[in-house]
């Protein structure tokens, strides 16, 4: 069965969505909507057989469209997705899923009622690195998790509608939700806005049961680009540097062994420092795998790992971060 996709939004990210859904065996793109004349011409030039329109309603109502991909700014996601679901279309929505958790819940309920699939474009979950890390956690290599610590910083690109948290942190929050099976209990966030009233730097701490802690640093004002995550387990620790072309993940057989717990003064701690190894990371394009997985879930009735609930979980954390930011670091319980 060929699943036909309509894509709303053809700015920076839209072309990647169009290219990937159009190149799969199980799907093809039949229509694209964008508000800008310039990008309309770009679509026409790249894909002469696609219908193009500036009216999202026209695309959403088209009988030959099975899936609507929504690749527009976050403030527009809810209305467009709601219309598409009401018209009986499956939806793939860009990250972050919606602007509020209530909107996400409404879309999830609507999709369930109509037996339709929601996918959220948490592309990063389909990268070779995250798939490898998930495997190292699930097969017990890392042992029980202690912490997740991520730095996602660079210069720009300032967004005019959302702060740095809503722009960059959805990647880390989606990973955290995917890798840590416990649900977060509280969020503490500090940050500052230096230019347009929207925070351009933020430090986010997330508490989980079983003493697991996550920290995410996002920043648009960094002179250098850093994409580095540390994950500490009881058995092994790893460093994931996404800017490394080949050796993205290094797993360290390092850790702390506590011999006795009889009182603080008798605590016997020994440090273990063993080998380091570099697991192989698959280089396939993440967005291609995400598109493939979504089409397969629609065809076979399976639930995507990046479903509406995964999107909701990220939006809940984003809302808590904003609340804590406003209160200058007060803990917000989830
Ligand atoms: N998954 C990822 O890694 C990733 C990467 C970049 C961007 N994104 C997400 O993609 C989305 C779009 O980001 P972008 O950088 O491509 O934005 P952009 O501003 O470059 O493009 C937005 C597009 O949406 C269209 N548009 C805007 N409002 C519309 C409306 N009401 N109806 C119809 N079309 C409308 C515009 O005409 C334009 O074509 C955002 O949600 C962003 O967070 C995701």
What is the C-alpha R_g of the chain? 21
pLDDT digits (tens, 9 = 90+) for 292-318: 999 999 999 999 999 999 999 999 999
Atom of ligand 1 nearest to the CA of 77: 41
User: Band of the pLDDT at 179, cuts 50, 70, 90?
Assistant: very high
Contact 51, 30 (CB under 8 A): yes
| Distance from Cα 152 to the centre of ligand 1, integer Å | 20
| Distance from Cα 188 to the centre of ligand 1, integer Å | 29
Pocket of ligand 1 from Cβ distances under 6 Å: 8-14, 33-36, 39, 56, 71-74, 76, 94-95, 121, 123
pLDDT of residue 265: 66
70 vs 79: CA distance, rounded Å: 10
Residue nearest to ligand 1 atom 27, measured at CA: 72
97 vs 117: CA distance, rounded Å: 14
34 vs 71: CA distance, rounded Å: 10
Has residue 262 got a pLDDT over 80? Answer: no
**H helix count then E strand count, the chain:** 9, 15
Ligand 1 test: best mutation among 11, 60, 75, 104, most atoms within 8 Å of CB?
11
Atom of ligand 1 nearest to the CA of 36: 37
51-53: strand order across its sheet: 51-53, 27-33, 3-8, 67-70, 90-94, 118-121
Between these two residues, 106 and 37, which has the higher pLDDT value?
A: 106
């Amino acid at each position: 069965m060929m699943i036909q996709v309509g894509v709303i939004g053809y700015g920076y990210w839209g072309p990647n969505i169009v290219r990937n859904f159009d190149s799969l065996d199980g799907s093809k793109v039949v229509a694209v909507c964008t508000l800008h004349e310039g990008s309309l011409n770009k679509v026409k030039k790249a894909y002469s057989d696609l219908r193009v329109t500036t009216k999202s309603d026209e695309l959403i109502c088209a009988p030959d469209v099975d899936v609507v991909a929504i690749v527009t700014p976050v403030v527009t996601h809810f209305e467009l997705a709601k219309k598409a679901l009401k018209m009986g279309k499956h939806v793939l929505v860009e990250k972050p899923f919606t602007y509020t958790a209530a909107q996400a819940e409404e879309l999830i309920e609507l999709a369930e009622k109509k037996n339709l699939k929601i996918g959220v474009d948490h592309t990063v979950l389909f990268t070779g690195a995250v798939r490898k890390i998930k495997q190292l956690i699930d097969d017990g290599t890392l042992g029980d998790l202690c912490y997740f610590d991520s730095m996602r910083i660079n210069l720009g690109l300032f967004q005019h509608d959302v702060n740095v948290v809503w722009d960059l942190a959805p990647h880390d929050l989606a990973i955290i939700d995917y890798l840590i099976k416990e649900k977060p209990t509280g969020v503490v966030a500090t940050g500052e806005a230096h230019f347009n009233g929207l925070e351009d730097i933020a430090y986010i701490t997330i508490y989980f049961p079983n003493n697991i802690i996550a920290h995410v640093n996002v920043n648009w004002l960094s002179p250098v680009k850093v994409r580095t995550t540390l994950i500490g387990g009881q058995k092994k620790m790893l460093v994931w540097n996404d800017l490394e072309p080949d050796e993205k993940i290094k797993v360290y057989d390092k850790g702390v062994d506590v011999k006795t717990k009889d009182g603080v003064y008798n605590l016997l701690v020994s440090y273990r420092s063993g080998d380091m190894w570099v697991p192989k990371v698959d280089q396939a394009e993440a967005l291609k795998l995400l598109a493939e997985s979504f089409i397969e879930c629609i065809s076979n009735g399976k639930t995507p790992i990046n479903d509406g609930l995964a999107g909701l979980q990220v939006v809940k954390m984003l809302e808590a971060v904003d609340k804590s930011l406003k209160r200058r670091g007060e803990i917000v319980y989830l």
